[in-house]
Structure formats: structure tokens, C-alpha cells
Chain A
Amino acid sequence: MRNLGRSRARTALSIFSVAASVMMVLLLKGAIDGILTTMEESAIRLSAGHIRVIDQEYESRERLLSLQYPVDGWNGEGVARMAQDLAAIPGVDLVAPRLRFGGMISHGDDLRSVLVVGGDPDIERELLRADRYLGEGRFVRSGEREAVLGRRLLGRLGLGVGDRFTLVFSTSVGALRGYTLTIVGAFESGMPFLDDGTVIVPLDVAQGAVDFGDAATELLVMASRLLDVPILAQQIEDMAREQGGRYTSIPWYKHNEIIEYLQVGRRIYDAIYIGLLVLASFVVVNTFVMIVNERRREIGMLSALGLRSREIRTLFLLEGGVCGLAGSLVGSLVGASLVLVLSRVGIPLPGADAMGAELMYPTTLYPIFSAGVVAYAFVGGILVTVAAVALPARQAARMSPTEALRAT
């Protein structure tokens, strides 16, 4: 202990190197996880759900936003009942019925195409994270001719919260209809898909608008735990088959190429993360090897004073251990707090505006705080430090005192 105290600068530096490495690793993993997870989450919340239940025929005609293949119950008894049935399955967190159809908003001389999504306000508020992404105003209410539009869409239409607009659309029986809706909120999710071309309305209003009755175009099932999804998907698929095979259930990881692609990306980034760990470890090792190297004279003296190799080695290990512990502790604490704070506040990302609406790219990065990652980093920091000290310490301890003394 005294040794540590003696050269405070050296000790400080060694602790600092461990702390800094641990912290960088934590921040980076949080950030990368944040980006990938956000993109996956956006896709899940906006279109895929954890599991999506649709009419088999709808799947291929989805891009046409056909209204001819509704989800209206196992046997036509209505989508509300069906949603209840699904929600009752253990492991299901919530079930969101959605009615998607295409419409046009008149803007000056132009009719601009938009995607209209009707959803149950209470459910959608949670599913779409209105608390986080509603930039202005409030969410829609059942039964009211209200809408929430993305901020960018509002900008392009020259409208704001409180304004009214007319939506023109075709009903399921081919009638052309126009509804005037009041804008009650603006979405600023940073997800171009949402912000650029989507109009969110209450489900019952959508159903009335297109003459759908108690039906939807899809049911989004959200699981309480991501791990349960494959099992739930199978369960629902079996249920659907028993009930006549009209519906099919699609788990999120099979939803479309974007999600699948993100999964590939995730693994690439995991590999890169390992590379980073190696680098960080190297830095720590480097630092401590250097320290031991510089202290060979000291080792020589200690040896001359009668300390045995093993004791010398233990001494260094202890010193290393303490430094490692302190460094890891500091690094983990600082790193974890930063990630925690940033996960709430977010890091603004530049350049996301240049993107088309198809992809869901966030403009704010919310790093993911994971206690597991923190624990790994903390333990890792200590282990690497001890390992870094162990070998050179042993080597140095084996030197004869005279050799050591000669070294400068």
C-alpha cells in the first residue's frame, strides 16, 4: 500500500487508464446498442409488432393498402373479440388493432398521398411512445375526428397543431369520401416513416370512414419479453390454423428485409465491439507492463532486501488488483451514469434528415443502459489489469537483484 502511495502520479495514471478504458467501452456499447435497438424498435412499433396477424391474402397486396382482406374476427365476429382472445394468451403484453389505408390531403393545388393509420388511442399511446415522441399537443381521442401528424409532414403541408385539413380516401366499397380532421398533435419521432407521411387517427373513426365495421387491417401483438416471441408466434399460428386458416402470424424478425438486415448489422457491431475490448485491454496491459518495467530497480532492491519472488509477485498483483479495482469502479460508475443520463436525454445525431421515409432512422440517439454490460466491464477491467500485471511481475521477480539494480 505504501508503494502505491509513494508515487501518486503513477498510481493515478494507472487507475486513470483502467477507468478511461472501461468508461469508453461502456459508452460505446451503449451507443451502438442504442442505434440498432432504436431502429429495430421503430420498425417493431410502427409496422411489425412483435407478431403481426393478418389475412393471408393481405400479405401480398399490402403495398396496395387493399381494404378487401380485413381482420374481422376468427369467424367474422369482429376484431375486438379476436384482440381480446389474443391478449388473454399468457406472455402477451398488449394487442393493437390497426386499420391502414391510403388517403390524400389537399395542399394548394396538389393532392398529397399519405398513409392513414387508425389505432386504439390508449394502446397506441403506449406502443408509439407518445410520451417520448409527441413533440407538441396531445394524442388523439376515441370517437373524435382528430389526427396526429409527423412534424415534417406538417411542415410540408404548411399546417400546425390546431389546424384542420381534409382527407380524401376510398372506402372499402369504393365510395370516395372526404373527412375534415383537426390536428391535435405533432410527432417528432425522428423516424422519417412516421414523421413524413403518416397520419394517425382513432380506430373507430377510421372504421367509420372506410365502412369497415368492427374490423382492422392487422393486429399487432406485443410480447412482455422478446424471448417469448417465437413461442407465441407459433401458438398464434396454431390458433389461426384451427380457426380456419384464414389468418397468418408473422414474427417481427421475418417482417421485412429492414429488420433482418438490422440483425446482421447487430452481429457485425458485436464483432467490432470485441475488437474494441481488445484495444482497451491492450491499453491497460500496456500501461501496467510499462509500470512494472519502470520499477525493475525497485524490484531488485526488494529482492536484495530478502523478499522472495513469490512475495514480490504477490505485491505487484495486489497493487495491480487495487488499481484495477479502483479504476474499474471509477470507470464503471462514471460510464454507467453517463449512459443512464444519455439514455433519457439522448444524443442528437446530425444528418438524419437526408433520408427517405421508408427507413426508420432516429435523429436522436438513446444509448441503452444495461446493468449486464456494466457488470461485465467492471469485472473485465479488474481481470485485465491483474493479468496485465501478473506476467511482467513474475518475470521481474525472477530477475537477480543485480540485474534489476543495473536497470535504469
Chain B
Amino acid sequence: MPFLVKIAARNIVRNPRRTLLTFGSLAVGIITLIIVDSLLGGFTSKSLQNIIDYETGDLKVHAVGYFSDRENLPLDRSIDPAVILPVALSVQGVESASPRTQFTGRVVAGWEEFPVLAIAVNSDRDGDVLRLADDVDGRLPRPGTNEAVIGANLSTLLGLEVGDVATIVTRTRDHAIQAMDLTIVGVASTPNPNVNRNHIYLAFDTTASALGMAGRATEIVVRLAPGVSAEAAKLRLERALTDSGVAAEVVTWKESAADFLALAQTGSATDLMLVAAIFLIAIVGVTNTTLLGALERKREIGTMQAMGLRQSEIVRLFLLESAGIGILATIAGSVLGAAVNVYLVEVGIDVSSMLGDIDLGFPIDNVIRGTWNPATYIWGAAAGFASCLVSSYIPARQAARQHPAVMMRQ
């Protein structure tokens, strides 16, 4: 066997052109796969980024039973931030955490009234977890006040600007009607249209007491360090909570945003198709070149048979060559692909030139960044390598079966 390996290696090196051509398709295929996958990942995560940055964070901690009932925004399923924040911050991978309470209400301003989603936030901590603070024209509501930040669309609809007063009518934890007079101190114009159209942000402490919540919150929003897997962090956080004897549930952004994930789902279906297409094209390429290579080497095969190599050894030789080329191609493709991926992730592609004059009505970041998806590298390598072997097996066997004399004549 080692003998064959040596011959295989020598064959590979001896005919660089053929080697290059054979593995060319595979390498380029892998590179294309990596690039496309990276960009698509970037594109879908872009649409999700708005939700993660403004609504769900990376993780959320709720009271047990809140999440399944979340449509009703039940205020009686609440958690104590004083207990949960320290636990959350102690978990590996967690960068910051902040309490929030969500509830529905209607904002009344003069003749206009409109249903809104009201969110009580802790201005000191919220900016570390979610990006609202960056996009407010004005400031976040200060603790101990009845100040409020209102989404830009709501501001226009209700005719409310910084300095104006509006009333929000809602229900307390015990279902009693409650009304709060709010002074607008900021208008939020974010890349998240949901925020702009539906949200009003209030101070956490004053709201909690107005709602009879006794300082409790409906959720703790958690931001993870870059690169940390949400699913893994969720498990760690759950364990930490159990160890501390705290009853709570943890959900990832994917679970929180399940209703909005449609476009991401599109991504995965088309991704799958693209990946399949790339595979197929690359495999066609590999198969072709391998087969062609085998065809051209019939003479060589004849020689080898004449030299006494058995059929099985010849087949194995070809397979080894293919394997060798496959490995080289995969490595080359993966490395080059990774290099491009680095550029995509760090620098990204500016799509504004492609967008032309679309005015989305809210600010959008025009750069699509790539993503790292180790699975892609593995799949690409495995499939490519496998196709190399498969496509070289049959012609190898066929060629090897022919009589040496026939070979020599060709």
C-alpha cells in the first residue's frame, strides 16, 4: 500500500497541469460555496439583527409560564431583577443584562388615540444590551420620572414631539385601570420599523410601581459576547439559575422572534437550493475532469498492468490519486474561501450601489457582512472529497479491466 501511495503521489506531482485542472473545479466549487453561504448568512442575519438589537437581545429570562402565554403579556408572571441579574451576569459569555417590562396600552393625545406596546426600561443598563439608546433623538426616560420615548411613526401619528405630554391608559397587574401622564423626552428612529411604529419606552421604576409590580419585571434581556452561541449560553444560564434555586425560563432570540423569522426561513430554503446547486455544479466539474483524466491515461494503465500490477491495485492507485487531489483541492478551496470569508466578515460588501434609490423610510446599514459557518466548510470538504472518490472509481475499474494490449494500442 505505501508503495501505491508513493506512486500516486508521484503521479500527482508529475503532471501538474492535469492535477490542477482536475482539482480546479472542486476548489473553486468550495470557494464559491463558502462565499455564497457566508453572504446569505449575512443577509439573513441582517434582517434578524434588527430584532436582536432592538427587541429580543440574545437571550431573555422570563418567569416560568410567561413565554407560552406571551401573547397576553401577563403581568402576574414576573421575575425579580435583583435576584436574576447577578446570576445572569455570572454566566460565561454574558456581556450585559437589563430588566424590562412589556405591556399594552393606548396612548391618548388630544383627539387621537392609538394602541401601543409599552416597555419599561432601566436607562442605565438598557443601552448595554439593546441599541435603542443609539437611535433616540433626545434621551431615554430617567429613573423616578414619568418621561417617555416614543417611536418616530407614533410621534407623527399622534402629533407628539419632545416636550409634549400624553396619557397612556393600561391595566395594572390586578387588572385595575391605570393612567399615566407622560412627558415625551425622546423620539426613536431606528432601523426596526416595529419599534418606530408601535413602541413607547418608560422608566422602569415608576412604571413598576404604577402597575403594582413591586419592582419586578416581565423579562431580563441578555446580551452575549460576540461569537458566543446563544443555544450554548442558554444552557449555561439555565443551569446557573437552577443552581441558585431560582425558577425561571430562558429563551434564545430565535425562540423570541419565531413569529418574525419568515424571511430567515426563506433564506434557508433558498440557501439549501444554492448549496445543492453549487455542489452539483462542482461535482459535475470534478467528475468530468476525473473521467477525462482516466480516459487519457489508458496507456499508462496498460503499462502498469504489463508491469504486473493487479487490477485491484490499479483501481486503488487511481483512488489514491483522486483522494490526494481531493484533499489538496479541499484544503486549497477551504483556505482560499476562508481568506475571502475573513474579508467579508470584517469589511463586508456595500450594497448601496445595488439598491439604487429605494427609500425604506428608516435608516438601514448598507453593508452586508459575511458570517462564519463551520458546518459549510465541513460539508463542502466531505462532499467534494467523496465526489472525487466516487467519480474516479468507475473509470478506474473499467480501464483496469481492459487487456494491456488493447491499452497499449491506444
Q: Do chains A and B touch in the complex (CB under 8 A)?
A: yes
Which A residues lie at the B interface, using CB under 8 A?
7, 9-10, 13-14, 16-17, 20-21, 24, 27-28, 31-32, 35, 39, 60, 64, 192, 253, 257, 260-261, 263-265, 267-269, 271-272, 275-276, 278-280, 282-283, 286-287, 289-291, 293-294, 349-352, 354-356, 358-359, 361, 365, 408
Nearest-Cβ distance from residue B128 to partner chain A, whole angstroms: 28
Q: Give A253 to B360 CA distance when docked, in angstroms.
A: 10
Q: Give A271 to B36 CA distance when docked, in angstroms.
A: 10
> Is B47 part of the binding interface, using a Cβ–Cβ cutoff of 8 Å?
yes
- Contact across chains for A356 and B270 when beta carbons are under 8 A apart: no
Chain B residue nearest in CB terms to A193: B262
Nearest-Cβ distance from residue A355 to partner chain B, whole angstroms: 4
Q: Give A293 to B32 CA distance when docked, in angstroms.
A: 25
> Is B368 part of the binding interface, using a Cβ–Cβ cutoff of 8 Å?
yes
- Contact across chains for B43 and A265 when beta carbons are under 8 A apart: yes
- Contact across chains for B43 and A268 when beta carbons are under 8 A apart: yes
What is the 8 Å Cβ interface bit string for chain B, positions 248-286, against chain A (1 contact, 0 not)? 000000000011111101101110011001101110110
- Contact across chains for A257 and B273 when beta carbons are under 8 A apart: no
CB-based A-B contact count at 8 angstroms? 164
> Is B28 part of the binding interface, using a Cβ–Cβ cutoff of 8 Å?
yes
With a cutoff of 8 Å between Cβ atoms, the chain A residues found around residue B282 in the complex are 279, 283
Given contacts A268-B351, A351-B265, A355-B259, contact A279 B278 (CB under 8 A): yes
25 contacts between A and B (CB under 8 A): A7-B295, A13-B288, A20-B284, A21-B281, A27-B277, A35-B266, A35-B270, A64-B114, A257-B360, A261-B47, A265-B263, A265-B266, A269-B270, A272-B36, A275-B36, A278-B32, A282-B285, A286-B28, A286-B285, A287-B288, A290-B293, A358-B259, A359-B260, A359-B262, A359-B263
- Contact across chains for B24 and A293 when beta carbons are under 8 A apart: no
Name the contact of B260 in the complex, choosing from A10, A13, A356 (C-beta under 8 A).
Answer: A356
Which B residues lie at the A interface, using CB under 8 A?
15, 17-18, 21-22, 24-25, 28-29, 32, 35-36, 39-40, 43, 47, 114-115, 156-157, 193, 258-263, 265-266, 268-270, 273-274, 277-278, 280-282, 284-285, 288-289, 291-293, 295-296, 299-300, 351, 354-355, 358, 360-362, 368
Q: Give A24 to B266 CA distance when docked, in angstroms.
A: 20
Chain B residue nearest in CB terms to A10: B295
- Contact across chains for A355 and B261 when beta carbons are under 8 A apart: yes
- Contact across chains for B289 and A287 when beta carbons are under 8 A apart: yes
With a cutoff of 8 Å between Cβ atoms, the chain A residues found around residue B24 in the complex are 282, 286
Q: Give A349 to B270 CA distance when docked, in angstroms.
A: 10
- Contact across chains for A268 and B39 when beta carbons are under 8 A apart: yes
Nearest-Cβ distance from residue B295 to partner chain A, whole angstroms: 6
4 closest Cβ contacts across the A-B interface?
A: A356-B259, A359-B262, A283-B285, A294-B296
Nearest-Cβ distance from residue B270 to partner chain A, whole angstroms: 6
With a cutoff of 8 Å between Cβ atoms, the chain B residues found around residue A253 in the complex are 358
With a cutoff of 8 Å between Cβ atoms, the chain A residues found around residue B193 in the complex are 257
With a cutoff of 8 Å between Cβ atoms, the chain B residues found around residue A290 in the complex are 18, 21-22, 288-289, 292-293
Name the contact of A279 in the complex, choosing from B28, B265, B291 (C-beta under 8 A).
Answer: B28
- Contact across chains for A276 and B21 when beta carbons are under 8 A apart: no
Chain B residue nearest in CB terms to A357: B259
Q: Give A239 to B309 CA distance when docked, in angstroms.
A: 88
Nearest-Cβ distance from residue B333 to partner chain A, whole angstroms: 12
Chain B residue nearest in CB terms to A39: B266
Prevailing SS type, chain A contact patch: helix
Given contacts A279-B28, A286-B289, contact A32 B273 (CB under 8 A): yes
- Contact across chains for B270 and A10 when beta carbons are under 8 A apart: no
Name the contact of A24 in the complex, choosing from B259, B261, B281, B351 (C-beta under 8 A).
Answer: B281
- Contact across chains for A293 and B358 when beta carbons are under 8 A apart: no
Q: Give A16 to B358 CA distance when docked, in angstroms.
A: 42
Q: Which of B25, B280, B362 has the most CB atoms of chain A within a 10 A radius of its CB? A: B25
- Contact across chains for B292 and A13 when beta carbons are under 8 A apart: yes
Chain A residue nearest in CB terms to B192: A257
Q: Give A121 to B193 CA distance when docked, in angstroms.
A: 34
With a cutoff of 8 Å between Cβ atoms, the chain B residues found around residue A263 in the complex are 358
Chain A residue nearest in CB terms to B279: A24
- Contact across chains for A349 and B291 when beta carbons are under 8 A apart: no
Q: Which of B47, B293, B296, B355 has the most CB atoms of chain A within a 10 A radius of its CB? A: B296
- Contact across chains for A24 and B277 when beta carbons are under 8 A apart: yes
- Contact across chains for B274 and A276 when beta carbons are under 8 A apart: yes
Q: Which of B28, B285, B293, B368 has the most CB atoms of chain A within a 10 A radius of its CB? A: B285
- Contact across chains for A361 and B262 when beta carbons are under 8 A apart: yes
- Contact across chains for B280 and A24 when beta carbons are under 8 A apart: yes
With a cutoff of 8 Å between Cβ atoms, the chain A residues found around residue B114 in the complex are 64
- Contact across chains for A365 and B269 when beta carbons are under 8 A apart: yes
With a cutoff of 8 Å between Cβ atoms, the chain B residues found around residue A352 in the complex are 265, 269
With a cutoff of 8 Å between Cβ atoms, the chain A residues found around residue B278 in the complex are 276, 279
